[in-house]
Amino acid sequence: MENNDEWFIDILNGDFQNKYIMGNIIGRGSTSTIHSCLYKGKKKYACKIIPKNKLKKLETQERIQILLRLNHENIVTVKETYDDAFGVYIIEDLAHGGELLERLASRGGYSERDAAKSIHDAVKALEYIHSMKIFHGNLRPEKLLYATEDENSPLQLTDIGVTTTSMSPYKILYCAPEVIATSEAQLASDIWSLGIVLYIMLCGVEPFRNADEMFPSPYWDDKTIAAKNLLACMMQKSPEKRPTARELLKDSWICCERTSEYSMTDAVHRLREFNARRKFKAATLAVRATRRAIAMSHCHEEIRS
Ligand SMILES: Nc1ncnc2c1ncn2[C@@H]1O[C@H](COP(=O)(O)OP(=O)(O)OP(=O)(O)O)[C@@H](O)[C@H]1O
């Protein structure tokens, strides 16, 4: 078994506590807990705490090296990392503007053009990491956060390849067919996952797997051919046939060239229901994960004493 005690800098001996004051929990995922934290009494950051028992040492060290190198306006910047016997602590920019679907669902209505603007930001982030041959591997709506509360805030991608991806039924919704079949993701798998996010944004329901009709009535009656064509390309079964992120940046719908400004009020109602269900499922997974982490930390304490 690996000795997890000293992966990087020991948080207890390092200067984490001199620099940061840990604040409230602002988010929970199935592998981590996210706190706000205050740097030198001045600037707020997010601190993501991942228990080491959910990570593989070498893989995590490599991924953290990558994360620290990333620098793009549509990616949440990782500032530094720490670790102690319990976990890895990733200090990153605090995304003040909340999650993508939360913001859309809180609006009275939104258009294909509004959806395209957000997707354009997500595609720019993918183009950047894909150009370095890095894939996200776990792209879902909660990985797309607004940097600020401003209406024109950039959308940012987070959690690039840090956690090991367990396949819960909830996560499978966003997994490309090749990931479900082989558990191996590739660059094109991110394009499929983003396609699912866009599908949900446009009609407020998830795609019906194995259905004959990809765009069933009444959900898709008022959507443009350009939007449907784009989705049909992004969600092709064969990964080789999907457009690359670079190609998507030239797509006229994504670039908002004549993209419809008609307000999709039905979609927003359905999106609110979808979002409530999504939050409930994510919270259930997070509670289970927290219980497991607490049980593990008790074991750890017992072994130490
Ligand atoms: N930098 C950040 N700023 C603000 N909120 C954040 C930040 N990072 C994560 N969050 C919030 O915390 C929630 C959980 O984060 P995330 O999904 O990355 O956890 P996770 O444990 O890696 O998830 P999983 O392992 O289930 O994929 C997000 O949905 C988001 O609301």
Here the ipTM equals: 0.97
Residue 102 has a pLDDT of 92
* 255-293 pLDDT per residue, tens: 988 888 888 888 889 999 998 988 887 777 667 666 665
Could you list the residues known to form a binding site for ATP, using ranges: 48
Indicate which atom in ligand 1 lies nearest the CA of residue 138: 27
Confidence of residue 10 (pLDDT cuts 50, 70, 90): low
Indicate which atom in ligand 1 lies nearest the CA of residue 282: 26
Task: Give 262 or 162, the one with higher predicted confidence.
Answer: 262
Give pTM, 2 decimals: 0.89
Could you list the residues known to form a binding site, using ranges: 48
Confidence of residue 130 (pLDDT cuts 50, 70, 90): very high
The residue contributing the CA closest to ligand 1 atom 13 is 27
Residue 35 has a pLDDT of 95
Task: Give 104 or 169, the one with higher predicted confidence.
Answer: 104
How far is the centre of ligand 1, averaged over its atoms, from the C-alpha of 34 (Å)? Answer: 6
**Rounded to whole angstroms, how far apart are CA atoms 64 and 8?**
10
pLDDT at 4 over 80: no
How far is the centre of ligand 1, averaged over its atoms, from the C-alpha of 16 (Å)? Answer: 21
Indicate which atom in ligand 1 lies nearest the CA of residue 289: 21
Confidence of residue 247 (pLDDT cuts 50, 70, 90): very high
**CA atoms in the 13 A half-sphere facing the CB of 292:** 16
Residue 122 has a pLDDT of 98
Confidence of residue 237 (pLDDT cuts 50, 70, 90): very high
**Mean pLDDT over residues 190-218, rounded?**
91
